[in-house]
Structure 1
Amino acid sequence: MSKDIRVKKGLNLKLKGEADKSIVDAPRSSIYAIKPLDFHAVVPKMVLKEGARVKAGEVIFYSKYDEPVKFVAPVSGTISEILRGAKRRILEVRIMADAVDEFVEFGKMDPMTADPAAVKTRILESGCWPFIIQRPYDIVASAEDAPKSIFISAYTTAPLAGDVDFIVSGKMEAFQAGVNALSRLTDGKVHVGVGKKSALGSINNAEVHTVSGPHPAGNVGIQVHHVDPINFGEKVWVLGAEDVAIIGNLFLTGQFKAERIVALAGTEVADADRKYYRTIIGANVTSLVKNVNTTETRIISGDVLTGDKLASDQALNFYHNTLTLIPEGNEYALLGWLPFTRNNIPSISGTSLSWMKGGKSKVDTNLNGEERALVVTGEMEEVLPMDIYPMQLIKACMTGDIEKMENLGIYEVAPEDFALVDYINTSKLEAQEIIRLGLDLMITEVG
């Protein structure tokens, strides 16, 4: 099988506001937060209470239904607040950080000479296990499972997203150590997807695939589909490249150092501030941007297609390395369906004048339409480079037809794979949300 993955279907959105490739240290946040909502389907059980002192790497809560999976403090300090929602559901655990972190010492380990069981135990105890996501279902992997293969994507195609290859290129030793550790957790292969001329192309103990093509070629699910598709009863683990470096650093130093390099992007960020910031997982948004008018600006943890809306006093999500600021779509355009009434909005169908003007576009959150029936066929397939029928799968999820969902490929997809479907489909249906609900139904009914 060829080691190249060439994707032809998809769409590259050329948007204004990309972060410059320079890295600076972000101011240290006074408050850091771990949000259980970032870990889909995990029910947290608290180990510590408000007022407790913690070290970086100390367990805060664990998964109720998979107790070996632990979630740890990214910094040392004092648990200042445990925010709860309806039915006392834990929304955030906030930590008032010390000026200098104190770490739990796990001890150094060479994963290539250690017993695989010891490697797995170290990842679990240190709080690094939540970086490992299971496909199908796009949830934190079970501690009892072993995957048929492991996939890492270091190729970025999402609009305005942080360039993973650039982020990880300065962490090569840690990334290699992380790959070494992961290779001990499976009898199959570790696959790494990279772009052309990537610094990660020489990684050992992994099969490297050169990926090319438009978005969503960088999505790890697309790479899994082209290299080692998932069948019923099989499990594949996927990780972010920077998360692999955090795991590797654990084995090199014996400490859980939750460093995250975040791209600050979007047209609502001043030109001088659009760059990469070295921070820590769970840092508050205010450590990166200040004085944001949230009635006029949308703060997004992640990229514009798959990210989550944040308030100005919230923390970045656990897995994201991009913070995007774009205008809210509060302006109404009279006869907005006419191409000359909106300023260069991108359009896959050519119904705006963006194809004439060229260059990059400035986007806001306006949907430019309302929800309507699914009547146009064939459009979703143009942006989803997988051998499935996306519209039929969406309909099966909407009706809760488990047998059809299985036959149409529900085990291979994750919500992020349908982000472009969200963007281009004329029905304006929330495809990502529908797929997430379908996956949740499969977890409940099939397991």
Structure 2
Amino acid sequence: MSEVKKIKKGLDIKLIGKAEKVLEKADRSETFAIKPTDFPGLTPKLKVKVDTEVKAGSALFFDKYRPEINFTSPVSGKVVAVNRGERRKILEVVIQADAAIQYQEFKKADPNSLSREEVKEEMLKSGLWAYVRQRPYDVIAKPQDTPKAIFVSAFDTAPLAADIDFLLEGEAEAFQAGLDALAKLTDGKVHLNINPNINQSKTFSDAKNVVVNQFTGIHPAGNVGVQIHELSPINKGDVVWVIRPQEILFIGRLFQNGTYDVSRKVALTGSEVKNPAYYSTILGGSVRNILKAQLKDDDKIRVISGNVLTGTQIPEDGFLGFYDSQITVIPEGDEYEFLGWALPGLKKFSMSKTFFSWLTPNKEYRLDANLHGEHRAFVMTGEYDKVLPMDVLPLQLIKSIMVEDIDQMEQLGIYEVAPEDLALCEFVCTSKINVQDLVRQGIDLMVKEMS
């Protein structure tokens, strides 16, 4: 076992509403959706139209510029809507599910007996390739590349994050089959990164075909980008791939059963949930039945697919994001607060000592989505550096993105970061800058320049 790497920079945001490790039942969603907006850099081309009958694993659309990458239906049923936004941008492909799922048949085989190209072919046909993402750029990996390594983070330190040991409970064989498939895709190593204080499951400790690395510390210690930075920093020309543990299960099930089975557990969390717990669902399912009778106040809440730092706001009948294993419900915070800054702020969280809440460091908070201020001039405070545990100058990097200075972006570390890595910078930002949006804009500019 490797030495333990401790991440000291960062910030743990303690919120009310962590999910209990119990699996509750909810009625299965009647509708499911795959959202092209979940995939940065994707230009989707439809393979179906309204009223098309599909099976689980049938292609719904593909990438215009990489047509070998398919995005497939999570259930069988009928396509009932293709929702579009401005300039006819495809926002959602919605499927009305059958009562019993019928599966498209794929090759059933032991990944160890297959070649690299055979593993790729099955993953591409089934739609599972979309789970394999690359660094730099945090986009879906190019199938023709061979990464120098593949990284898997087996723990999540984001606020109210799902317990990955619990998500994978009873799925050790499928997880190992998925790891065996991933090992075929690289000439380097598959790095499985664990936190010995969190990961107690033998699913990880007994895993084969991997190198196990240990990390501890505060958020963002669980971010795979931070772990890559510690183990094998990305330089210009390097390519590494990343994937999450629950997504490895889907790959394992594909080769074990020959089916596109994307059933999963999700954590329902947040201060506005009556009984935070875990629920069984299927990729892309509507959250309506999970939220039903669980919300404290329907009028002034925000439902988020994902966590509060990096998730996406959705309506109460919206659909779970492609990469999300968590639903968070917090107060909207749209009320005017009289003399808010003049009060002691015992119920408010602050990284600095702005409020007296710093006297109770272990307190859990009921935080809302209020910015507590308007956008201001971009000032240098040094706050970014306190929460980013990477050898990157975040303020200078963000400013180079704002002026679209490609050379400076390269020198300041654009290849190493993804939006989620700077989510805490956005949280602590005195100027209320949308840091993650800017990082994505910078990455998109780099992709455009390099293509």
TM-score bracket, normalised by the shorter chain, equals over 0.9
Q: Deviations over 1:178-224 (max 9, x none)?
A: 11100000001101111215321221101111110000000111111
User: Offset at 1:428?
Assistant: 1.2
Q: Deviations over 1:380-415 (max 9, x none)?
A: 111100001000001111111110000000000000
Q: Aligned to 1:307, which of 288, 307, 311?
A: 311
Q: Aligned to 1:270, which of 264, 270, 274?
A: 274
Contact 1:75 1:101 in 2 (8 A): yes
Report the 3-state secondary structure (helix = DSSP H, G, I; strand = E; otherwise coil) of the residue aligned with 1:412: coil
**Bigger shift: residues 63-72 or 79-88:** 79-88
Trace 1:16-415 onto structure 2 (pairs within 5 A): 16-196=16-196, 197-199=199-201, 200-271=204-275, 274-290=276-292, 295-340=299-344, 342-358=345-361, 359-415=363-419
Report the 3-state secondary structure (helix = DSSP H, G, I; strand = E; otherwise coil) of the residue aligned with 1:337: helix
User: Offset at 1:339?
Assistant: 4.5
Report the 3-state secondary structure (helix = DSSP H, G, I; strand = E; otherwise coil) of the residue aligned with 1:170: coil
In the aligned structure 1, how far is the partner of 2:399 from the partner of 2:39?
A: 26
Letter paired with 2:160:
L
In the aligned structure 1, how far is the partner of 2:283 from the partner of 2:94?
A: 12
Letter paired with 1:370:
E
Task: Return structure 1 stretches of 4+ with deviation > 3 angstroms.
Answer: 291-295
In the aligned structure 2, how far is the partner of 1:443 from the partner of 1:253?
A: 37
User: Offset at 1:86?
Assistant: 1.8
User: Offset at 1:343?
Assistant: 4.7
In the aligned structure 1, how far is the partner of 2:259 from the partner of 2:129?
A: 14
User: Offset at 1:278?
Assistant: 0.8
Gaps of at least 5 residues in structure 2 are none
In the aligned structure 2, how far is the partner of 1:294 from the partner of 1:146?
A: 48
In the aligned structure 1, how far is the partner of 2:155 from the partner of 2:99?
A: 35
**Bigger shift: residues 326-335 or 6-15:** 326-335
User: Offset at 1:59?
Assistant: 0.9
Residue 434 (structure 2) pairs with residue 430 (structure 1): yes
**Bigger shift: residues 167-176 or 183-192:** 167-176
Letter paired with 1:381:
D
Letter paired with 1:184:
K
Letter paired with 1:278:
S
Taking structure 1 as the reference length, the TM-score comes to 0.97
Report the 3-state secondary structure (helix = DSSP H, G, I; strand = E; otherwise coil) of the residue aligned with 1:117: helix
Give the count of matched residue pairs.
Answer: 444
User: Offset at 1:47?
Assistant: 1.1
In the aligned structure 1, how far is the partner of 2:378 from the partner of 2:89?
A: 36
User: Offset at 1:4?
Assistant: 2.8
**Bigger shift: residues 17-26 or 71-80:** 17-26
Taking structure 2 as the reference length, the TM-score comes to 0.96
Contact 2:2 2:212 in 1 (8 A): no
Report the 3-state secondary structure (helix = DSSP H, G, I; strand = E; otherwise coil) of the residue aligned with 1:74: coil
User: Offset at 1:3?
Assistant: 4.5
| Identical aligned residues as a percent | 47
In the aligned structure 2, how far is the partner of 1:357 from the partner of 1:222?
A: 28
Letter paired with 1:348:
M
Q: Aligned pair in 2 of structure 1 residues 434, 295: CA closer, same or farther (>3 Å)?
A: farther
RMSD: 1.5
User: Offset at 1:306?
Assistant: 0.6
Q: Deviations over 1:227-284 (max 9, x none)?
A: 111110111111111001111111111111011211000011113xx10101000100
Letter paired with 1:238:
V
Q: Aligned pair in 2 of structure 1 residues 305, 225: CA closer, same or farther (>3 Å)?
A: same
Letter paired with 1:275:
A
Letter paired with 1:283:
G
